[in-house]
């Protein structure tokens, strides 16, 4: 295939700033959906539709019929995370640029580059050998509600023999992976109100409650210094991975020192120290504070006691925890830890249950073979720290959901200078092309 042409096409997709959580980009999300729809039509899909009543549609399509061949559902998302902080990008997030064999742009790896890879692998294969179905959504980055509701109403939309979700990465360069677990997510805003309005910090300071101080105290009650999350009942259902799984992780090319120095680039790691870093990343739940607002944050100085403060937080969930229970536990913990003189409230924004995938379906062996042929190594089983809310629903009809991807661990998803190595893209197209072939042959 003509790589220059492919790059030009991918650039077009990446130039669309389809940030799903920012209403100012609603039209851009629509444009990205149109881009996907046009690609599906070019692949000969019939029935290309925009589905869902919410603002960013799910693009669905049905590939040319191949009688007797299996049905393969391809999932991906055309929405991206906000690009800020903008001044930390080497080149602007929506002006794709190649440096040193790497393509830099918001969405390069998460997930436009991977959607592109799945689609171009079909084109590369010539006449399809399987019955393709597509669900490419535009709200993954804020909870996938539209696709969730759609699949609840019309579960047959996910009916397939096999589903592929390419929204992940290799575990290391040269080490492709399939994932047996995704963490779930519980995203919330905790708001603390301490008075009717802000107060002069001289007139009232010393006797009036301060919303930021109360919020800070509440947050440290929820998670202590050693990394333990103190939401009552939270760890109840959490199980340690089997000794076999832990032993397998030890064989992966993952070094804690390198992870700190090259990827985290901080002075030290945190969390529950008695567990390995991989266990903390893949098998334990988390509590993170994303941002705190309220009070005075403008230029200069203002002496005021804030009456309200809000923290955006999220918890990652692991198997056997459920979003519903965790929401209840968090609401109860906030109530319990907030002192009587403050009004604390919790608003849940979105979330997802954790997903667990068994690798016993023969399609996993075909993908393993395709990777082995193209990149020289098969897939290793791994877990993922991130979440893809709709995965449990995609598998509800019984199809095995293959969680894989062509990214690398240092792609900087959601961060400045997100990138995709071009070698990963070209290899990826060859891998999926081969996988479609093998699946079609029933090999
Ligand atoms: N592609 C990621 C999920 C992911 C990241 C899986 C890293 C495996 C490794 C996805 O686009 C994502 O970012 N999901 C969000 C979901 C949330 C906004 C509901 C996440 O995990 O924060
Ligand atoms: Mn993604
Ligand atoms: Mn993402």
Q: Give me the percent of the chain exceeding a pLDDT of 70.
A: 100
Tell me phi and psi for residue 384, to 5 degrees. -120, 145
How many Cβ atoms are within 10 Å of 113's Cβ, its own excluded?
30
Please, which residues have CB within 8 angstroms of residue 422's CB and are 6 or more apart in sequence? Answer: 98, 101, 102, 103
137 is catalytic: no
Q: 143 in ligand 1 pocket by Cβ < 6 Å?
A: yes
Q: 167 in ligand 1 pocket by Cβ < 6 Å?
A: yes
Provide the pLDDT for residue 443.
Answer: 61
Local confidence pLDDT in tens for the 443 residues of the chain? 899 999 999 999 999 999 999 999 999 999 999 999 999 999 999 999 999 977 899 999 999 999 999 999 999 999 999 999 999 999 999 999 999 999 999 999 999 999 999 999 999 999 999 999 999 999 999 889 999 999 999 999 999 999 999 999 999 999 999 999 999 999 999 999 999 999 999 999 999 999 999 999 999 999 999 999 999 999 999 999 999 999 999 999 999 999 999 999 999 999 999 999 999 999 999 999 999 999 999 999 999 999 999 999 999 999 999 999 999 999 999 999 999 999 999 999 999 999 999 999 999 999 999 999 999 999 999 999 999 999 999 999 899 999 999 999 999 999 999 999 999 999 999 999 999 999 998 86
Q: 141 in ligand 1 pocket by Cβ < 6 Å?
A: yes
For ligand 1, atom 4, which residue shows the shortest CA distance? 386
Q: 378 in ligand 1 pocket by Cβ < 6 Å?
A: no
Q: DSSP secondary structure string, 147-192?
A: HHHHHHH-GGGG--SEEEEE--B-SBTTB-EEEEEE-EEEEEEEEE
140 is catalytic: yes
Contact 78, 59 (CB under 8 A): yes
Q: 168 in ligand 1 pocket by Cβ < 6 Å?
A: yes
Provide the pLDDT for residue 64.
Answer: 96
Provide the pLDDT for residue 81.
Answer: 97
Strand partners, 75: 135, 165
H helices, E strands: number in the chain: 12, 18
Q: 82 in ligand 1 pocket by Cβ < 6 Å?
A: no
Active-site pick, 110, 140, 308, 427: 140
110 alpha carbon to ligand 1 midpoint, in Å? 8
Active-site pick, 28, 39, 79, 437: 79
Provide the pLDDT for residue 1.
Answer: 82
Provide the pLDDT for residue 142.
Answer: 86
3-state secondary structure of 400: coil
Measured from the Cα of 389, ligand 1's closest atom is 19
Residues 208 and 213: their CA atoms lie apart, in Å, by 11
Residues 392 and 440: their CA atoms lie apart, in Å, by 25
| Among 321, 379, 324, CA closest to 355 | 321
pLDDT in tens, 6-47: 999 999 999 999 999 999 999 999 999 999 999 999 999 999
Provide the pLDDT for residue 407.
Answer: 98
Residues 240 and 259: their CA atoms lie apart, in Å, by 22
Q: 140 in ligand 1 pocket by Cβ < 6 Å?
A: yes
110 alpha carbon to ligand 2 midpoint, in Å? 4
Provide the pLDDT for residue 126.
Answer: 94
Measured from the Cα of 387, ligand 1's closest atom is 21
Residues 290 and 185: their CA atoms lie apart, in Å, by 13
Measured from the Cα of 179, ligand 1's closest atom is 8
Provide the pLDDT for residue 55.
Answer: 86
For ligand 1, atom 5, which residue shows the shortest CA distance? 386
Q: 427 in ligand 1 pocket by Cβ < 6 Å?
A: no
146 alpha carbon to ligand 1 midpoint, in Å? 16
Residues 323 and 427: their CA atoms lie apart, in Å, by 37
Residues 186 and 251: their CA atoms lie apart, in Å, by 31
Residues 241 and 32: their CA atoms lie apart, in Å, by 40
Contact 138, 32 (CB under 8 A): yes
Contact 165, 388 (CB under 8 A): yes
Tell me which DSSP letter residue 223 carries.
Answer: B
Residues 199 and 102: their CA atoms lie apart, in Å, by 52
Residues 375 and 428: their CA atoms lie apart, in Å, by 9
Contact 438, 370 (CB under 8 A): yes
Best residue among 140, 172, 184, 352 to mutate for probing ligand 1, ranked by most atoms within 8 Å of CB: 140
Contact 76, 18 (CB under 8 A): no
Measured from the Cα of 143, ligand 1's closest atom is 19
pLDDT in tens, 311-338: 999 999 999 999 999 999 999 999 999 9
Please, which residues have CB within 8 angstroms of residue 274's CB and are 6 or more apart in sequence? Answer: none
105: its two tokens: 């742009």
For ligand 1, atom 1, which residue shows the shortest CA distance? 167
């Amino acid at each position: 295939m003509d790589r220059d042409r492919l790059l030009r096409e991918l650039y077009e997709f990446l130039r669309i700033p389809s940030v799903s959580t920012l209403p100012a980009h609603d039209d851009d999300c629509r444009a990205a959906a149109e881009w996907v729809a046009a690609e599906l039509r070019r692949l000969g899909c019939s029935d290309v539709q925009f589905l869902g009543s919410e603002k960013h549609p799910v693009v669905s399509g049905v590939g040319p019929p191949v009688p007797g061949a299996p049905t393969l559902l391809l999932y991906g998302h055309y929405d991206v995370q906000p690009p800020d902080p903008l001044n930390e990008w080497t080149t602007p997030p929506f002006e794709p640029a190649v440096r040193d064999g790497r393509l830099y742009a918001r969405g390069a790896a998460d997930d436009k580059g991977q959607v592109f890879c799945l689609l171009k692998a079909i084109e590369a294969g010539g006449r399809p050998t399987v019955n393709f179905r597509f669900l490419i959504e535009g709200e993954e980055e804020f909870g996938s509600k539209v696709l969730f509701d759609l699949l609840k109403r019309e579960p047959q939309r996910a009916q397939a023999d096999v589903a592929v979700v390419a929204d992940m990465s290799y575990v290391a360069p040269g080490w492709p992976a399939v994932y047996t677990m995704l963490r779930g997510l519980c995203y919330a805003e905790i708001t603390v109100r301490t008075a009717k309005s802000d107060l002069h910090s001289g007139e009232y300071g010393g006797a009036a409650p301060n919303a930021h101080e109360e919020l800070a105290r509440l947050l440290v009650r929820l998670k202590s210094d050693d990394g333990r999350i103190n939401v009552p009942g939270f760890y109840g259902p959490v199980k340690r991975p089997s000794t076999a799984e832990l032993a397998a992780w030890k064989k992966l090319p993952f070094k804690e020192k390198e992870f700190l120095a090259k990827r985290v680039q901080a002075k030290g790691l945190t969390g529950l120290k008695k567990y390995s870093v991989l266990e903390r990343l893949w098998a334990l739940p988390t509590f993170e504070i994303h941002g705190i607002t309220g009070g005075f944050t403008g230029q200069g100085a203002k002496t005021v006691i804030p009456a309200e403060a809000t923290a955006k937080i999220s918890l990652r969930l692991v198997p056997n925890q459920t979003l519903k229970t965790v929401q209840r536990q968090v609401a109860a913990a906030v109530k319990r830890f907030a002192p009587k003189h403050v009004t604390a409230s919790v608003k849940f924004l979105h979330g997802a249950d954790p997903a667990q995938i068994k690798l016993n379906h023969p399609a996993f062996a075909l993908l393993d073979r395709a990777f082995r042929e193209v990149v020289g190594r098969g897939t290793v089983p791994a877990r993922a720290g991130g979440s893809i809310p709709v995965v449990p629903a995609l598998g509800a009809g019984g199809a095995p959901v293959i969680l894989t991807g062509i990214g690398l661990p240092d792609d900087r998803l959601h961060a400045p200078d997100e990138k995709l190595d071009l070698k990963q893209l070209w290899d990826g197209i060859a891998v999926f092309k081969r996988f479609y072939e093998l699946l079609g042959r029933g090999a």
